[in-house]
Amino acid sequence: MTTRTGSEAEVEQLLDVFKALANPVRLRVLRWLRDPERHFPVDRAIADPVEVGVCVSHIQEKLGLAQSTVSAYMASLQRAGLVRATRVGKWTHYKRDEARIAELVAVLGRSL
């Protein structure tokens, strides 16, 4: 059985992030989530987009893609540790995980 070193685990984490961000739509959504009040309809939000996140239906509406596609994109960003999901009633809201993003940037700095 092979065990990974901390360095190898960090490289795998970065590869997951790069895979998630290699899709221009996912990258665009992550950028929008940096300033949700600017990019999404705050007046129709059922939860605070800054504190809780943006409803997947608002992301879907802005992208003009099928709900299943948007959900798959958001799941990819979540697996990479770039966003967190929160349920509010029957709706899923997504918010950037700023602490995790900062951690990944630090890992990138150490790895390259």
Task: Evaluate whether 42 touches 49 at the Cβ level (below 8 Å).
Answer: yes
pLDDT score for 12:
84
pLDDT score for 1:
47
Q: Which parts of 22-97 fold into alpha helices (H)?
A: 24-34, 36-39, 56-63, 67-79
CB neighbourhood size of 54 (10 A): 28
Per-residue pLDDT of the chain in tens (112 residues, 90 and over written 9): 445 556 788 888 888 999 999 999 999 999 999 999 999 987 877 888 888 999 999 999 999 999 999 999 999 999 999 999 999 999 999 999 999 999 988 888 887 7
pLDDT score for 57:
93
Question: Which domains does the chain possess?
Answer: 6-111 (1.10.10.10)
- Which residues, at least 6 apart from 82, have a Cβ–Cβ distance to it below 8 Å? 17, 20, 21, 30, 96, 97, 100, 101, 104
| Residue 110 identity | R
What's the sign of the alpha-carbon dihedral 62, 65, 69, 73?
Answer: negative
